[in-house]
């Protein structure tokens, strides 16, 4: 039971970061800069452990998998954080759910990932697409920027999911994988910020807030690593999606966001589409 409580605590932290910190601090600090600063805190906190254990020796496959993981994670969060500052939390979060469904496409069409798509997974993809179209509605025709950023985040998060699996299969430690993700975010998110024209100004009064958020991010990794000693990966996959649900709840009750019927119907279809993918993907692992 302690392991499950640790996992729940970790995903709750992610919900707070996505639903509260990014939405709040993002009104004072550019989202890419905010993500880089939080990553910096995590990198600094991971350094003593790496200095003690030393850098692991990696083969070519591990290096490629880590590079793909780090790049996709950095781009995913750059665009997701940007979308969160441009629209309601539920809009960005529900479109982001589409990533797991899109990941099924990659494992079916890219030979290097070596997984087979079954009929149930195909149905999940169709349900997810239907939910996305219903939920976003006329946003496609109105060319709303938040939608494009959210879709880009879902695209890169789907790649992050696939590369996470590759990193796991190639037996890279979770600690070093996390350090790699944070390091890539620290280096790449500011570059994305320059491309998007984000301001690099950081109010001094926001620094303690950002530092605390970075500490929470680091703590979430510690809780995850500890909890996974007793919690099956399949169960963690299900619990992990509570961070998006929690972020949406924060948007509803803290920010006062109101959901229309299209969001309820589309979001429900996307959530339903997730279930077989989560269970089948981990069952085959």
Predicted confidence band at 273 (pLDDT cuts at 50, 70, 90)? low
> pLDDT tens-digit profile of 30-61?
999 999 999 999 999 888 888 888 888 899 99
CB 144 within 8 A of CB 91: no
Predicted confidence band at 239 (pLDDT cuts at 50, 70, 90)? low
Task: Report how far residue 210's alpha carbon sits from residue 216's, in angstroms, rounded to the nearest whole number.
Answer: 10
Q: What is the pLDDT of residue 200?
A: 94
What one-character DSSP code corresponds to residue 28?
T
Task: Report how far residue 127's alpha carbon sits from residue 141's, in angstroms, rounded to the nearest whole number.
Answer: 21
Sign, CA dihedral 71-75-76-77, equals: positive
> pLDDT tens-digit profile of 258-272?
877 877 787 777 677
Q: What is the pLDDT of residue 285?
A: 47
- pTM for this prediction: 0.81
C-alpha 94 chain-centroid distance? 12
- Per-residue pLDDT, averaged over 226-235, amounts to 64
């Amino acid at each position: 039971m302690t392991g499950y409580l640790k996992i729940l605590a970790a995903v709750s932290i992610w919900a707070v970061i996505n639903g509260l910190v990014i939405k709040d601090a993002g009104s004072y600090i550019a989202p890419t800069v905010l993500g880089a600063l939080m990553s910096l805190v995590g990198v600094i906190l991971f350094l003593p452990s790496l200095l003690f254990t030393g850098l692991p020796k990696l083969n070519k496959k591990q290096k490629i998998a880590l590079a793909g993981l780090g790049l996709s994670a950095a781009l995913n969060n750059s665009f997701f954080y940007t979308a969160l500052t441009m629209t309601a939390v539920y809009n960005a979060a529900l479109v982001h759910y589409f990533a797991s469904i899109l990941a099924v496409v990659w494992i079916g069409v890219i030979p290097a990932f070596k997984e087979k798509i079954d009929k149930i997974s195909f149905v999940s993809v169709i349900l997810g697409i239907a939910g996305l179209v219903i939920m976003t509605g006329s946003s496609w025709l109105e060319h709303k920027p938040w939608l494009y950023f959210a879709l880009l985040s879902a695209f890169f998060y789907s790649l992050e999911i696939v590369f996470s699996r590759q990193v796991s299969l190639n037996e890279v430690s979770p600690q070093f994988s996390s350090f790699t993700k944070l390091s890539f975010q620290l280096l790449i998110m500011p570059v994305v910020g320059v491309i998007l024209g984000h301001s690099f100004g950081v109010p001094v009064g926001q620094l303690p807030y950002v530092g605390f958020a970075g500490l929470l991010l680091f703590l979430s990794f510690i809780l995850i690593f500890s909890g996974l000693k007793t919690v099956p990966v399949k169960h963690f996959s299900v619990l992990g999606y509570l961070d998006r649900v929690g972020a949406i709840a924060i948007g509803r009750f803290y920010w006062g966001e109101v959901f229309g019927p299209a969001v309820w119907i589309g979001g429900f279809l996307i959530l339903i589409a997730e279930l077989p993918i989560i269970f089948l993907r981990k069952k085959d692992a």
